[in-house]
Amino acid sequence: MLIMMSAQATEEEVANVMAHVRDRGYQPIELPGADRLAIGVLGTNPVTIRDAVVALPGVVAAIPVSKPYKLVGREWHPHASVVRVGGVPIGDGAFAVAAGPCAVESEQQLVDTARQVKAAGASLLRGGAYKPRSSPYSFRGLGAPGLEHLRRARELTGLPIVTEVLTPGDVEAVAGAADMLQVGTRNAQNFSLLEAVGEAGRPVLLKRGLSNTIEEWLLSAEYVVAHGNPDVVLCERGIRTFETATRNTLDLSAVPVVRALSHLPVIVDPSHATGHRHLVPSMALAAVAAGADGLLIEVHPSPDEALSDGPQSLTFEQFSDLMEDVRRLTRALQHEIVAGPSQASR
Amino acid sequence: MLIMMSAQATEEEVANVMAHVRDRGYQPIELPGADRLAIGVLGTNPVTIRDAVVALPGVVAAIPVSKPYKLVGREWHPHASVVRVGGVPIGDGAFAVAAGPCAVESEQQLVDTARQVKAAGASLLRGGAYKPRSSPYSFRGLGAPGLEHLRRARELTGLPIVTEVLTPGDVEAVAGAADMLQVGTRNAQNFSLLEAVGEAGRPVLLKRGLSNTIEEWLLSAEYVVAHGNPDVVLCERGIRTFETATRNTLDLSAVPVVRALSHLPVIVDPSHATGHRHLVPSMALAAVAAGADGLLIEVHPSPDEALSDGPQSLTFEQFSDLMEDVRRLTRALQHEIVAGPSQASR
Amino acid sequence: MLIMMSAQATEEEVANVMAHVRDRGYQPIELPGADRLAIGVLGTNPVTIRDAVVALPGVVAAIPVSKPYKLVGREWHPHASVVRVGGVPIGDGAFAVAAGPCAVESEQQLVDTARQVKAAGASLLRGGAYKPRSSPYSFRGLGAPGLEHLRRARELTGLPIVTEVLTPGDVEAVAGAADMLQVGTRNAQNFSLLEAVGEAGRPVLLKRGLSNTIEEWLLSAEYVVAHGNPDVVLCERGIRTFETATRNTLDLSAVPVVRALSHLPVIVDPSHATGHRHLVPSMALAAVAAGADGLLIEVHPSPDEALSDGPQSLTFEQFSDLMEDVRRLTRALQHEIVAGPSQASR
Amino acid sequence: MLIMMSAQATEEEVANVMAHVRDRGYQPIELPGADRLAIGVLGTNPVTIRDAVVALPGVVAAIPVSKPYKLVGREWHPHASVVRVGGVPIGDGAFAVAAGPCAVESEQQLVDTARQVKAAGASLLRGGAYKPRSSPYSFRGLGAPGLEHLRRARELTGLPIVTEVLTPGDVEAVAGAADMLQVGTRNAQNFSLLEAVGEAGRPVLLKRGLSNTIEEWLLSAEYVVAHGNPDVVLCERGIRTFETATRNTLDLSAVPVVRALSHLPVIVDPSHATGHRHLVPSMALAAVAAGADGLLIEVHPSPDEALSDGPQSLTFEQFSDLMEDVRRLTRALQHEIVAGPSQASR
């Protein structure tokens, strides 16, 4: 950590800061600059005294030198991780597409969709039984019967299931039906939920919070890994900005940034990010080109009738066309798309 | 709702939209414009068909006319609400200050603080037993023993207690100790938690989410009220923007905006918003002048030693000075600061 | 335009609004809703009375129905435009790469770079003689001698020149040396400059303002076109958000959004957007996949010695590798990269 | 400056960075940390080699220690500055209100407004003869005749004039009519204009750019002062965020932040920030309480008929009421409002 003193700091103030650092077991070192003094702090994890130091008279700032995450960081774990979801690998060259409706609406809707997306080349089935909605008056998912439909769809198609869990009390039930637990954007800093999924023994799909920095997102992943679950896949799904032409602003630069900082796989959800069906294919292809390890795509048998997120869902035909383009692109980029397993396998 | 058609929409597309609206039980009405057609939709709650309509060929946009919240809106409830917390009224002219440490660290720290802030004029004691922290390695609160300290502080000083609850599983325990349940900024759209505090029989302090619009914030309040709890106080605490000189950007305009849209009281937390002690007094006074119904201020016996948020906590003396200024200002503006009750009363 | 009345609006207020609309030459039409009245306004360009209407008692909002731009919009000009820069076409399938240093530093630096980027496949040379810098103490470009170097580089390599102009007083001089005038992000709403380049008889590269919505960006293009210059190429270069891992947040969704709204070509500048060399290649490829009509890439013979933007500049070798990948991708996507003309031709 | 090396940096990389720093005339000093090495850089203005250093292998970041501005910073000029505009002091306890219409529409409109705002207690008259508008089709001001009206209004009322200048070519003409030159939010980083007003011999009102950090804003002020003009008043007028309930988000915290960083006066424009008349009074009072040195308020004889910004303009009566409240507040806070001079004096 580096402590920057004010240009007007008195000798007494400097001495006080030096003493303070020493009292707390760290070694201060004076670094005179052209117009002010800086003080380096040596020792293990000096950031723990940062708040106290910043408040001392004469101190302008205290800048941490180390990254705040360890388990998910690439510095200590240089090789890319592969996360397996019901037999489907994601990461380190393995590219996977999860597709399906925003919300599970009926067994037939789900099974039809599962068959179609599998035929088109998806390797995972997504669908929400529990839906977070900003209004209490919107459709919030079928709940437990939705989980039953997901189980049935896996049984019939062999596609592993990705579904969202909203609260620690539901983790056990959802983990009983799902191959991968999704933590949504509004729960990205719901630390109780992160701990619960950290202990659930299922891979986790961690969406980036609407206004989370990449560092905060990685710290949320650190919560899950620190609770015993190394199988985290990160999902960029758009951040909140001033632009209103899209639902959110898809931050595709986050893909190469995350790959540089972390060994965890990172996939992209262009459906929620853009909020408009006609923008999904181009942003899906852009995500592939940016180096994403997979995609999360909303597909619905009849988007105009969807109970949730219809305007951003692709039809079966649109999804099938998109998968053609994705394959063309991954071939050009020499990636490999992972096919879904022929049998459900957990 | 108003449906805007493309300037190039064909007659067939228009007819299709009209039919679609009629099929779903609403009445469409054509509104020819200079360069395009709009279609008005009459009937109850037409927004439920918005997603379906937006996806039809030839449709450019569908604009809702009604507000999405009802119970918290001022249109249906014109008079300002008063929320009582352990006997202390907030709202409709009653101004209340909640003060105390970010985190409860020990009985003595808390009781000392409670006595000092009461003497300075605070009417509520705030302090966290459960702390949400972006890193799993930061101090996360004392938990249950912290609740005991809060109980003790109330017993000794009579100040009602405001404390945060992080997850539905803790609501019962926290409600047993607290006079008011705080839902934090990272949980502002944790809908399971909003429902749980809606059923807990205690007033709720609902912080605005870091990237929540005012409309989303009011919808989160609507969750609590729709679950049976009308006693919600809103708390503006800064939103996330590009500016880095402050921890967040305090959106004080939210105070008059909320007062126009909602009958619920709204208070302001300048400590978390600014993140710097030297900015707290001026922003606290600005909040009073903007018409806030109260303040939430972090105070610590020794901020340099605080385990959390030290740099933004006021000392006892600074808080006492601030309360002098607040009183001067509320007098000038002809508000009344509410004194704490002499006895704990729930 | 649609006027939304308050749910509590009186009959008198409604009558007043109706009269007001009629007095100004428009036709009002009542649209009763479930919980409030809306008033449609028919006639040409009703948005001119919007401000007046919004201020009337009982009015909640007035929503324009038409787009505020005409000349650059696709509604009135459905076919994609092609802009020719010194013989190089951009748009409607023609893909062009402009490359070169952020700042022109010397004739040799520029000519070396021009030869290398041409050999690698670039079709335009970029380089700044006048540099906008947030600090008055930073290097701000060579000025007129820089223009000379640009002329010389074109003479020797045949590459058309793209260079920035900062102020109306410089437009004539810069247009004398350049094939395309760049308006930078900080000048995106410098309307005097937009008018001046509208009259300069050279194609314009219009960067998106750091905090401009896509609609505002298109309106800035409308300024240029309305002053007689139809040859505008839009350039997405990142917007300002809360994320600090990248210099700005590249909003790649703007590419398909612009293509849907406007007939103008749109290219992408991943160098300024990301601010980090190691992020440039993946975001350049993502831009291609998103459907961009071209790229703007910073290249420097020795980035470590650059007087400006070194950390985001590619070396010759990195640029050459990137161009290989871009060609592979455009082939897969069935686009065509435009080669630079063998002779300078204006 | 502090250079942070990667945790995996090799000895060779470290040696290379050390050599690089020395070669450029600075003194490097090694600062071993728990998990990585940092290198301090001593010498004058080391930030000039920052870009070069960041690009070296093994370097993670380079953090400047000094502020990038000097002339406007409080570190080197601790006492608050007072800027005099036609005899009216602003800053260091002197509080001034500039009021008037957004756009000058006619002599009568302007003179009527000037008389009324003077009677209500304003000390400066604001009004735009040249208006920046995002659409080329909006009313853009009367131009030169507008300047005549401003001159006439000063002659009749004695109020000094504040008016906007859009481009360097207009500076001379505008400075001939105005007592203070306003640089608007869209020109806050129009460096050619900043230089031109720096040489114009008139005080400058520098609005904060819509997406400018406070540091960038102070650097823009530094441009003006570095060109010989010390008389700069900063004006906070809202920044661009995701919130849509207000036109922009008024960042009132900028007031105490600027006061801590700079000796220049800072005033607040709640009219443009909020965009809604009913929000202006509360935010004006909040600005006073936050410690602003003045206000800029839009006032119009008949806001419903205004050619620009009607919805946010106060009527004469509303402005007069606001001034009453402002006086009450400044008395309570022991500030002094400056009265307009009885005679025009420059």
Predicted confidence (pLDDT) at residue C342 exceeds the cutoff of 50: no
C-beta neighbour count of B12 within 10 angstroms: 10
What pLDDT band is residue C54 in, cutting at 50, 70 and 90? confident
| Contact flag C135-D69 (C-beta cutoff 8 Å) | yes
Nearest to C211 among D54, D220, D240 (CB): D240
Do residues B277 and D250 lie in contact, with contact meaning Cβ atoms separated by under 8 Å? no
- For residue A204, is it left (φ>0), alpha (ψ between -120 and 50) or beta? beta
D317 Cβ neighbours under 8 A, 6+ residues apart: none
Do residues C78 and C231 lie in contact, with contact meaning Cβ atoms separated by under 8 Å? no
User: Chain B residues within 8 A (CB-CB) of chain A?
Assistant: 20, 51-52, 54-56, 68-69, 132-137, 140, 166-170, 186-187, 189-193, 210-211, 216, 219-220, 222-223, 226, 240, 277, 303-306, 308-311
Nearest Cα neighbor of A118 from A294, A315, A341 is A341
**Using a CB-CB distance cutoff of 8 angstroms, which residues of chain B are in contact with residue C35?**
66
Residues A57-114 pLDDT 10s: 888 778 776 678 889 998 768 899 999 999 999 999 999 999 999 999 999 999 999 9
What pLDDT, on the 0 to 100 scale, is given for residue D154? 97
By DSSP bridging, strand D180-183 and strand C294-298 are unpaired
- DSSP annotation of D202 reads S
| Contact flag A328-C333 (C-beta cutoff 8 Å) | yes
- Please give the radius of gyration of chain C, using alpha carbons only, rounded to the nearest integer: 23
What pLDDT band is residue A268 in, cutting at 50, 70 and 90? very high
The ipTM estimated for the assembled molecules is: 0.87
Predicted confidence (pLDDT) at residue C307 exceeds the cutoff of 90: no
**Using a CB-CB distance cutoff of 8 angstroms, which residues of chain C are in contact with residue A331?**
332
Predicted confidence (pLDDT) at residue C345 exceeds the cutoff of 60: no
What pLDDT, on the 0 to 100 scale, is given for residue D345? 35
Give the span between the Cα atoms of C324 and C305, in whole angstroms: 26
Nearest Cα neighbor of B157 from B210, B99, B102 is B99
Residues B72-127 pLDDT 10s: 998 778 899 999 999 999 999 999 999 999 999 999 999 999 999 999 999 999 99
Query: Tokens 């380049």 identify what position?
Result: C197
- For residue A304, is it left (φ>0), alpha (ψ between -120 and 50) or beta? alpha
Nearest Cα neighbor of C109 from C339, C302, C312, C325 is C302
Predicted confidence (pLDDT) at residue C195 exceeds the cutoff of 60: yes
Residue B73 one-letter amino acid: G
Residue D10 is encoded by which pair of tokens?
């090799």
What pLDDT band is residue D346 in, cutting at 50, 70 and 90? very low
**Mean pLDDT across chain B, nearest whole number?**
90
What pLDDT, on the 0 to 100 scale, is given for residue D140? 87
Give φ, ψ of A173 to 5 degrees: -60, -45
The SS3 of residue D154 is helix
| Contact flag C44-B31 (C-beta cutoff 8 Å) | no
Higher pLDDT, A182 or B133: A182
What pLDDT, on the 0 to 100 scale, is given for residue B163? 98
| Contact flag D75-A7 (C-beta cutoff 8 Å) | yes
Nearest to A242 among C211, C243, C274 (CB): C211
| Contact flag A52-B309 (C-beta cutoff 8 Å) | no
Give the span between the Cα atoms of A207 and A174, in whole angstroms: 17
What pLDDT band is residue D44 in, cutting at 50, 70 and 90? low
Nearest to D65 among A4, A46, A65 (CB): A4
Give φ, ψ of C293 to 5 degrees: -90, 5
Neighbours of A (≥3 Cβ pairs closer than 8 A)?
B, C, D
- Calculate what percentage of chain A has a pLDDT beyond 90: 69
Q: Which residue of B has its CA nearest to C3?
A: B65
Higher pLDDT, D239 or C312: D239
Nearest to A257 among C245, C285, C288 (CB): C245
Nearest to C36 among B35, B63, B66 (CB): B66
| Contact flag B329-D328 (C-beta cutoff 8 Å) | no
| Contact flag B282-D245 (C-beta cutoff 8 Å) | no
The SS3 of residue D13 is helix
Predicted confidence (pLDDT) at residue C344 exceeds the cutoff of 60: no
Nearest to B310 among A51, A134, A311 (CB): A51
Q: Distance between the two ends of chain B, CA-based, in angstroms?
A: 45
| Contact flag C55-D277 (C-beta cutoff 8 Å) | yes
What pLDDT, on the 0 to 100 scale, is given for residue A218? 97
Residue A147 is encoded by which pair of tokens?
């989980």
| Contact flag C304-D168 (C-beta cutoff 8 Å) | no
**Using a CB-CB distance cutoff of 8 angstroms, which residues of chain A are in contact with residue C236?**
none
| DSSP secondary structure letters along D105-151 | --HHHHHHHHHHHHHHT--EEE-BSS---SSTTS-----HHHHHHHH
What pLDDT, on the 0 to 100 scale, is given for residue A45? 67
Q: What is the mean pLDDT of residues A220-240?
A: 96
What pLDDT, on the 0 to 100 scale, is given for residue B346? 33
Min mean pLDDT across A229-238, C76-85, C153-162 is at: C76-85
Give the span between the Cα atoms of A283 and A268, in whole angstroms: 9
Residues A157-208 pLDDT 10s: 999 999 999 999 999 999 999 999 999 999 999 999 999 999 999 999 999 9
What pLDDT band is residue A342 in, cutting at 50, 70 and 90? very low
Predicted confidence (pLDDT) at residue D33 exceeds the cutoff of 70: no
Q: How many CA atoms lie within 13 A of C64 on its CB side?
A: 12
Nearest Cα neighbor of C186 from C240, C230, C223, C257 is C240
Nearest to A219 among B134, B211, B305 (CB): B134
- Tell me how far the alpha carbon of residue C41 is from its chain's centroid: 33
User: Chain C residues within 8 A (CB-CB) of chain D?
Assistant: 20, 51-52, 54-56, 68-69, 132-137, 140, 166-170, 186-187, 189-193, 210-211, 216, 219-220, 222-223, 226, 240, 277, 303-306, 308-311
Predicted confidence (pLDDT) at residue A346 exceeds the cutoff of 50: no
| Contact flag D310-C277 (C-beta cutoff 8 Å) | no
What pLDDT band is residue D36 in, cutting at 50, 70 and 90? confident
Residues B45-75 pLDDT 10s: 677 788 778 878 888 778 776 678 889 998 7
| Contact flag D311-C137 (C-beta cutoff 8 Å) | no
Residue B158 one-letter amino acid: G
Nearest to C55 among D166, D223, D311 (CB): D311
B:C CB pairs within 8 Å: 66
- Please give the radius of gyration of chain A, using alpha carbons only, rounded to the nearest integer: 23
C-beta neighbour count of D51 within 10 angstroms: 22
The SS3 of residue B142 is coil
Residues C269-306 pLDDT 10s: 999 999 999 999 999 999 999 999 999 999 999 987 77
Q: What is the mean pLDDT of residues D313-341?
A: 84
What pLDDT band is residue D198 in, cutting at 50, 70 and 90? very high
Q: Which residue of A has its CA nearest to B311?
A: A55
**Alpha carbon separation from D203 to A184, A267, B262, D157, D298 (Å, rounded):** 52, 53, 43, 20, 20
What pLDDT, on the 0 to 100 scale, is given for residue A156? 97
Give the span between the Cα atoms of B241 and C27, in whole angstroms: 42
Nearest to A68 among B132, B135, B189 (CB): B135
Angstroms from D36 CA to nearest CA on chain A: 8
Residues D86-131 pLDDT 10s: 999 999 999 999 999 999 999 999 999 999 999 999 999 999 999 9
Residues C155-177 pLDDT 10s: 999 999 999 999 999 999 999 99
Do residues D191 and D167 lie in contact, with contact meaning Cβ atoms separated by under 8 Å? no
What pLDDT, on the 0 to 100 scale, is given for residue C343? 37
User: Chain B residues within 8 A (CB-CB) of chain C?
Assistant: 2, 4, 6-8, 29, 31-36, 38, 40, 42-46, 63, 65-66, 75-76, 78, 240-242, 244
C-beta neighbour count of B304 within 10 angstroms: 17
**Alpha carbon separation from A298 to A144, A151, A158, C210 (Å, rounded):** 21, 19, 19, 31
Give φ, ψ of A23 to 5 degrees: -55, -30
What pLDDT band is residue D53 in, cutting at 50, 70 and 90? confident
Predicted confidence (pLDDT) at residue B341 exceeds the cutoff of 60: no
Residues A21-71 pLDDT 10s: 888 888 887 776 666 788 878 766 677 788 778 878 888 778 776 678 889
Tell me which long-range contacts D41-44 makes (C-beta under 8 A, separation of at least 24).
D41/D1, D41/D2, D41/D3, D42/A31, D42/A32, D42/A33, D42/A34, D43/A34, D44/A34
| Contact flag D137-C55 (C-beta cutoff 8 Å) | no
Do residues A24 and A17 lie in contact, with contact meaning Cβ atoms separated by under 8 Å? no
Predicted confidence (pLDDT) at residue B147 exceeds the cutoff of 70: yes
Helices and strands, number each (H, E), in chain B: 11, 15
User: Chain C residues within 8 A (CB-CB) of chain A?
Assistant: 211, 213-215, 239, 241-246, 249-257, 260, 273-274, 278-279, 282-283, 285-291, 325, 328-329, 331-333
Residue D87, H or E segment? none
A:C CB pairs within 8 Å: 121
User: Chain D residues within 8 A (CB-CB) of chain A?
Assistant: 2, 4, 6-8, 29, 31-36, 38, 40, 42-46, 63, 65-66, 75-76, 78, 240-242, 244
| DSSP secondary structure letters along C65-88 | -S-S--TTBSTT--SPP-EEETTE
Predicted confidence (pLDDT) at residue C213 exceeds the cutoff of 90: yes
